[in-house]
Amino acid sequence: MNGTPAGRIRREGYTFQGLRASSCANLREAGCDDADIESITGMSQAMVRRYLRFANQRQLAKAAVLRLERTGRER
């Protein structure tokens, strides 16, 4: 198994779930909605929601920081 592409990926420290989750997060940050991500990845709606729970939180946090920075400049 170590000579296979999957073995090389594991040696690099990646997991398939991690790759799936990061691809969903990257697609979300690129502006894709859930339906887009489902069709691109072939995942079910439930799996896309599961993988996006942290991506959505990150996106909301970035937006909150931008709002906070804007209010600080307006003072």
Count of positions (residues) in the chain: 75
The pTM for the full model equals 0.61
Q: Locate the domains of the chain by residue range.
A: 5-74
CA 37/CA 25 separation, integer angstroms: 9
For 12-47, how does the pLDDT look when each residue is reduced to its tens digit (9 = 90+)?
877 677 788 889 989 988 999 999 999 999 999 999
Tell which residue, 45, 6, 4, has the closest CA to residue 24.
Answer: 45
Angle between helices 34-41 and 16-29 (to 10 degrees): 140
Q: Which residue has the higher pLDDT, 61 or 74?
A: 61
Is the CA virtual torsion 63, 69, 73, 75 positive or negative? positive
